[in-house]
Amino acid sequence: MTGPVHPTPDAISTLRPLPLTDLTFASDGFLGAWQRRNATRSLPYCIGQLDAAGALDNLRRVTGEADGEFQNMWFADSDVYKTLEAAAWQLGRSPDDAELRAFVDTTAALLAKAQGEDGYLNSYLTLVEPDQRWRKMHWSHELYCAGHLVQAAVAAARAGVGAEVVTVARRFADLIVERFSKVDDVDGHPEIETALVELYRVTGHRPYLDQAKRFVDLRGHGLLNDEHFGAAYLQDHVPVREADGVAGHVVRQLYLLAGVVDVAVETHDEELLAAARRLWDDAYGAKTYLTGAQGSRHRDEAFGDPYELPPDRAYGETCAAIAGFHWNWRMLLASGEARYGDEMEQALYNVIAGSTALDGTHFFYSNTLHLRTGHDGSHEDAPSGRLPWYSCSCCPPNLARLLASLSGYAVTADHSGLQVHLYAAGELRTTVDGVDVHVAVRTEYPWDGRVELTVTTPALITLALRIPSWATEARIDGQPVAAGDGYAEVRRDWSAGATVILDLPMPPRVVRPHPRIDAVRGCVALARGPLVYALEQADLPDGVTLEDVRIDPTAPIMTGRLPDVPRTLIAGGTVSPPASDELYSSGVDTEERGGPLAFTAIPYFLWGNRKPGPMRVWLPVAATR
């Protein structure tokens, strides 16, 4: 069963993804438990919300099965499609889930019934503005919704569930190709590009790929116009090949870049691939938060200027983090370079993990790195706690589809052997060049850096293990390997079976920002392994205000535990209250030197799971005496 993103044999692809079902995460491991929570809590919850929020009813209104007016966002069909995609991946891995099968089957039937005779399918346009079809491309999200329909169909096809969805999606895709191969137009919200390439991969039907390439190349030529938001918001400000930095609406930019890489590798377009690398350097060199989040501006949901990374006003949309994960995966497959795996890991264990509450049914849309004392939390895009749903609820179903297919992103193969990118307890049964390989992985990663890989295969293959960029040292079977080289390779004949022990020591560490990140000048962050830590008001003694805590980065940092927190970090510093109430002063000292304090930080992804309250990732450094 093929997973998400499966380049054709002819594509530029240094690494090859493994079938989704070849790797099973252990249910007591970190990723396995998370994936199980997704299957048992988040995904069923999302399915329920499709009814509660009216998204399914919109389609039923098209078929005449429901009354009333169109509800929810005009692009609410996409919530149905993303949830359907999640259900398809999940059902492919758990074919006996009758409830899930019923959801997939009834939804597929509904879509087939709602689809127009010509293949068109969009409940908002059909119900509310039927005469505006394809006429408001900057705003309508018609191709965006179509793209998610196609993605759901790709998942259904690869998982072998819901052939009816595939038929619906192909009919719509054929209509799109028929129209848009002749007129110069693109959608204000990218998504169709990557979707059409994936549909080409599933069907082998070349016009889908050609159309995707056409959509990529038509951007940046003034086809879209919106006075209020401007061209960058719509990803129409510059031809992709000429862009030298990421800009505009983050999710739109990143969805487009996933499509750009897909088109580039399938069409052997090195110029386009170089553009993607250039934009990656800009994004990850100057426009990414420590947690892997992206998007510095609530206004226009946008990337900011280089180094504009305010922790308190981080937009950091959950969908953007998922989109970044998708983009990095494509870059990793194309190049085999570890830095892409590093960024996948950083986002996964921090911003993405943090976006969902421990209960699996509350979510952040925007993922801040700093909640200030006095925050009013009034706006739903920056609440002081995770919310059960949003008026625009694109993120929860996006999480569901990522988690349902997560095992597809951990290990790849090439002609020489296997590459392990994400470490998780579990079991892999696959074939490399026709030879069976079995790998059992035991690890408590990300809480502990010891990873035991027991390999059995009647062949000489290379096991390449990603050495994360955070690691300052690494050992394989007790022997030091060079850190910072990307992958450590173990080439052996494994016919008798052998266990390789990768050890990635995880001493707590102090992270310093680039000096151009003005917003966190004079601050450091705490991290351990791939996990970024945060300090919550909830963990401070009574009477100590979060804003007054200063860290001494030279003091030793210890590890500890709390309920639900396997590893805390205990650091030292001071409590330094303001020396005066004056907002601006000409005096020399603005804060008291303060008394000593030891404080406990928890992993960022766990914040806000107790009582809501102030939190910060970046901690001001104590003044030296």
Residues interacting with a copy of itself, by CB under 8 A? 227, 230, 232, 237, 245, 247, 284-286, 288, 290, 297-300, 305-308, 310-313, 370, 372-376, 378-379, 391, 470, 472, 509-523, 525, 547, 576, 578-588, 590-591, 620
The 10 Å Cβ neighbour count of residue 86 is 29
Which is nearest to 402 in space by CA: 362, 442, 347?
Answer: 347
Grouping H, G, I as helix, E, B as strand and the rest as coil, residue 269 is coil
Is the CB of residue 491 less than 8 Å from the CB of residue 473? no
Is the CB of residue 510 less than 8 Å from the CB of residue 290? no
Q: Name the residue nearer to a copy of itself (CB basis): 491 or 521.
A: 521
Q: Name the residue nearer to a copy of itself (CB basis): 438 or 509.
A: 509
Both tokens of 575, joined, read 């409590």
Q: Name the residue nearer to a copy of itself (CB basis): 560 or 578.
A: 578
- Max Cα distance, the chain (Å): 77
Single-letter amino acid code for the residue at 537: Q
CB 263, min distance to a copy of itself, A = 26
CB 239, min distance to a copy of itself, A = 16
Q: Is 339 exposed, middle or buried (0-12, 13-18, 19+ CB in 10 A)?
A: middle
CB 515, min distance to a copy of itself, A = 4
Q: Name the residue nearer to a copy of itself (CB basis): 326 or 616.
A: 616
CB 240, min distance to a copy of itself, A = 17
CB 539, min distance to a copy of itself, A = 19
In whole angstroms, give the CA distance from residue 384 to residue 502.
39
Both tokens of 272, joined, read 């386009």
CB 517, min distance to a copy of itself, A = 8
Q: Name the residue nearer to a copy of itself (CB basis): 129 or 547.
A: 547
CB 63, min distance to a copy of itself, A = 28
Q: Is 499 exposed, middle or buried (0-12, 13-18, 19+ CB in 10 A)?
A: exposed
Is the CB of residue 386 less than 8 Å from the CB of residue 396? no
Q: Name the residue nearer to a copy of itself (CB basis): 286 or 425.
A: 286
Q: Name the residue nearer to a copy of itself (CB basis): 285 or 497.
A: 285
Q: How many alpha carbons fall within 13 Å on the CB side of residue 595?
A: 2
In whole angstroms, give the CA distance from residue 367 to residue 349.
13
CB 467, min distance to a copy of itself, A = 15
Q: Name the residue nearer to a copy of itself (CB basis): 136 or 339.
A: 339
Can you name the residues that pair with 480 across neighbouring β-strands?
Answer: 475
CB 502, min distance to a copy of itself, A = 20
CB 575, min distance to a copy of itself, A = 12
Q: Following DSSP, what letter does each residue of 286-316 receive, concatenated?
A: HS--TTS----BTGGGB--STT---STT---
In which order are the strands placed within the sheet that holds 474-476? 23-25, 426-432, 435-443, 450-456, 498-503, 474-476, 479-481
With a CB cutoff of 8 Å and minimum separation 6, the contacts of 128 are 70, 74
Single-letter amino acid code for the residue at 517: I
Gyration radius of the chain's alpha carbons = 24
Q: Name the residue nearer to a copy of itself (CB basis): 44 or 603.
A: 603
Both tokens of 26, joined, read 């252990």
With a CB cutoff of 8 Å and minimum separation 6, the contacts of 24 are 32, 407, 426, 427, 428
In whole angstroms, give the CA distance from residue 423 to residue 42.
23
Grouping H, G, I as helix, E, B as strand and the rest as coil, residue 443 is strand
Q: Name the residue nearer to a copy of itself (CB basis): 19 or 230.
A: 230
Q: Name the residue nearer to a copy of itself (CB basis): 73 or 425.
A: 73
Q: Name the residue nearer to a copy of itself (CB basis): 309 or 410.
A: 309
In whole angstroms, give the CA distance from residue 165 to residue 94.
19
